[in-house]
Amino acid sequence: MASPKITVIGLGYLGATHAAAMAELGFEVLGLDVVPEKMRKLEQGHAPMFEPGLEELLRSHVAGVEGSSGRLRFTDSWEEIGAFGDVHFVCVNTPQKHGEYGCDMSYVDSAVESLAPHLHGPALVVGKSTVPVGSAARLAARIAELAPAGAEAELAWNPEFLREGFAVQDTLHPDRIVVGVAGPRGEALLREVYATPVAEGTPFLVTDFPTAELVKTAANSFLATKISFINAMAEICEAADGDVVKLAEAIGHDDRIGRKFLRAGIGFGGGCLPKDLRAFMARAGELGASEALTFLREIDSINMRRRAQMVEMAREALGGALLGKRIAVLGATFKPDSDDVRDSPALNVAGQLHLQGAQVTVYDPKGMENARAVFPTLGYADSALDAVRGADVVLHLTEWAEFKELDPAALGDVASSRHILDGRNTLDPVPWRKAGWTFRALGRPTL
C-alpha cells in the first residue's frame, strides 16, 4: 500500500517543524498557512522563526532547494490540500482570547471550515493544536456536516508536546505519542504515520477524544505547578535567608520529585504555559468543575509575582529609585534557543522598569527583532558588552549559554556600577564576586 500523503495546516513553531519532520520520515507533504510571507520564506527553505536545526531540516526537503528530497511543498489552495492529503494535520495556534481567560478557537474553526468542504474521499483530519476539552467532538460533528465524503472523513486528536529550542528533536523522537480516535481506521493510519518513532520505542497511547485533549493541558499544568512550587520556595528562602538553588538540588535527588523544572527565577512565559493554564481554568468553569482547578490561579499568581519581585530587587540595588537609572537587561526571549518573546518574563520585567522611569537597554542573541516589535520604546544594544556600558545595574533574565561565558572583569570595566542580579539562577556567583561585583539572585542569600 502506498504511504499516506500528508498535509500540514498552520506553519508556525508547531506546523513548520511537523511538516519538515514528516518529510524527513519519508512522506510527501503539502503545507498551507494563511500568512503569505511565512509561506514565501518556507518555499525558499527558510524557517519562519529561529529554531535550532529547523532550517537545515527544511532545506533537506523543500522542493526547489538544491539537493533536497523535494518531498515538502506549499500551497495556498484549500482545494489542492483537500485533493492531496490522506492525513491532514491541523497545527494552527490557539491564543488566549483578548480580555478573557478562554482560548481563541477561531483559527482552528476556520481551518476546519475551509478544509472540510474539500474532503471528497477517505481522509483523516488530525488536530494537534492545544484546545479546550470538548473541541474535538464538536469539530468531528462539523466535519461530518461539511465534508462531501461523509463518514469517510474522520477526525483524530494528537496533542503535541514539543518544546521550543528542541522542537526538531521532540518531533522526530517524541517521548510519547497520544492519539484520541473515534475508531480503528484513525488509529491504523496514525500508527502508519508514526511507524518510525514507534519502532524506536516511543510509547503509543490510544485514547478517546476528551482524554487526548486533556493530556496536553494536564501536562502543561503540572510543569507550571512545578515551576511555581519552587518559586514559592524562593519567596520563603528570601524571607528566611535560605538558598533555593541548594534546596531544589536537595529535594530533586528524591526521584519521586526529580530535578527537572525546579529552577527558580522570574518564572514561566511563552506561547503555551501561561495561556494553557488560563484556558484550562476557563474550560473547567464551563464544565461546572472550576473548584478542581482553583489552585492554578495561585500557580499563575506566584509566577507573575516573581516578575514584580525582580523589579523590586532592581530598585533596591539602585538605592530605592528607578527614575533616570541605567539598567542593562540580558535576555528578551521567554527561554534560550528561541526568538519567541510571547509573554516573556524578561521583556515584561524590562518593560516594567522602563515604564517606571529607568533607561533600559536590552540585548538578546536572537530575540531583538521580535522584542523591538513588541516594545519599540526600550533601548537595544548589539552585544552584551554594549548593553552593560554605563549601566548602574545588570539584570540577567534569559539563560542563554553566551551569558554564562561573559567575562565579569571586562563587563566591570564598562559598567557604571558593578551590580548584577540573576533572575534565572544559572550564573556562577563566584567569578562575579571575585571581579568586584555585588551579585544577587532570586531566592538566594545576599552573600
Name the one residue in this structure whose C-alpha cell is 522570574.
Answer: 266
Is there binding between residue 12 and ligand UDX (CB under 6 A)?
A: no
105, burial (CB in 10 Å: exposed 0-12, middle 13-18, buried 19+)? buried
d(CA 356, CA 402): 29
C-alpha cell of 210? 476528551
Size of the site for ligand UDX (CB under 6 A): 20
Using rule CB under 6 A, residue 157 touches ligand UDX: no
How far apart, in whole angstroms, are the C-alpha atoms of residue 79 and residue 119?
9
H-type helices in 116-203, by residue range?
135-146, 167-172, 184-193, 195-199
Residue selected from 227, 279, 353, 442 as contacting ligand UDX according to rule CB under 6 A? 227
Closest distance to ligand UDX from the beta carbon of 32 (Å): 22
The answer to whether 64 touches 101, Cβ cutoff 8 Å, is no
d(CA 86, CA 119): 9
Q: Is 270 in the site for ligand UDX (CB under 6 A)?
A: yes
Q: Does 126 bind ligand UDX (CB under 6 A)?
A: no
The interface region with ligand UDX, picked from 2-10, 32-40, 156-164, 382-390 by CB under 6 A, is 156-164
Asked if 268 is part of the footprint of ligand UDX (rule: CB under 6 A), the reply reads yes
**Of residues 303, 323, 304, 322, the one with CA closest to residue 313:** 322
Rule CB under 6 A: say whether 341 interacts with ligand UDX: no
Is 194 a binder of ligand UDX (CB under 6 A)? no
Cα distance between residue 203 and residue 296, in whole Å: 29
Q: For residue 90, state whether it binds ligand UDX (rule: CB under 6 A).
A: no
Does residue 92 belong to the site contacting ligand UDX (CB under 6 A)?
A: no
Alpha-carbon distance 115 to 111, whole Å? 6
- In angstroms, the CA 160 to CA 424 distance is 27
- Out of 57, 115, 223, 371, which residue is the one contacting ligand UDX (CB under 6 A)? 223
Contact assessment for residue 205 and residue 197, using Cβ atoms and an 8 Å cutoff: no
- Binding of ligand UDX at residue 269 (CB under 6 A)? yes
Cβ–Cβ < 8 Å for 379, 361:
yes
* Least distance from ligand UDX to the Cβ atom of residue 342, Å: 9
Nearest approach in angstroms of CB 273 to ligand UDX is 5
Give me the least distance between CB of 160 and ligand UDX, in Å please. Answer: 6
Stretch 300-339 residues interacting with ligand UDX (CB under 6 A):
334-335
Residue 259 contacts ligand UDX per CB under 6 A: no
48 is a contact residue toward ligand UDX (CB under 6 A):
no
Closest distance to ligand UDX from the beta carbon of 396 (Å)? 12
Q: Are 280 and 221 in contact (CB under 8 A)?
A: yes
Q: Scanning the structure block, which residue is given the C-alpha cell 498557512?
A: 33
| Residue 209 in the binding site for ligand UDX (CB under 6 A) | no
Q: Which is nearer to ligand UDX, 31 or 270 (CB)?
A: 270
- The reply on whether position 372 binds ligand UDX by CB under 6 A is no
Spatial separation of the C-alpha atoms in residues 29 and 3, rounded to whole Å: 11
How far is it, in rounded angstroms, from Cα 88 to Cα 18?
12
Q: How far apart are CA 347 and CA 340, in angstroms?
A: 11
Least separation in angstroms between CB 367 and ligand UDX: 12
- Which grid coordinates are listed for 343? 509573554
What does the chain come to in residues? 447
272 is catalytic: yes
Q: Does 161 bind ligand UDX (CB under 6 A)?
A: yes
User: By three-state DSSP, how is residue 140 classified?
Assistant: helix
Question: Binding ligand UDX by CB under 6 A: which of 133, 273, 322, 381?
Answer: 273
Q: Is 95 in the site for ligand UDX (CB under 6 A)?
A: no
Our CB check for ligand UDX shows the closer of 402 and 413 to be 402
If one asks whether residue 265 binds ligand UDX (CB under 6 A), the answer comes out as yes
From candidates 120, 263, 305, 315, binder to ligand UDX by CB under 6 A? 263
By CB under 6 A, tell whether 189 contacts ligand UDX.
Answer: no
- The answer to the question of residue 272 lying near ligand UDX (CB under 6 A) is yes
Least separation in angstroms between CB 134 and ligand UDX = 20
What's the alpha-carbon Rg for the chain, to the nearest Å? 24
Q: Decide if residue 444 touches ligand UDX (CB under 6 A).
A: no
Determine the interface stretch with ligand UDX among 138-146, 256-264, 403-411, 413-421 (rule: CB under 6 A). Answer: 256-264
Task: Please tell me the distance from the alpha carbon of residue 105 to that of residue 162, in angstroms, as a whole number.
Answer: 20
Catalytic residues: 272
Write out the residues near ligand UDX by the rule CB under 6 A.
160-164, 220, 223, 227, 261-263, 265, 267-270, 272-273, 334-335
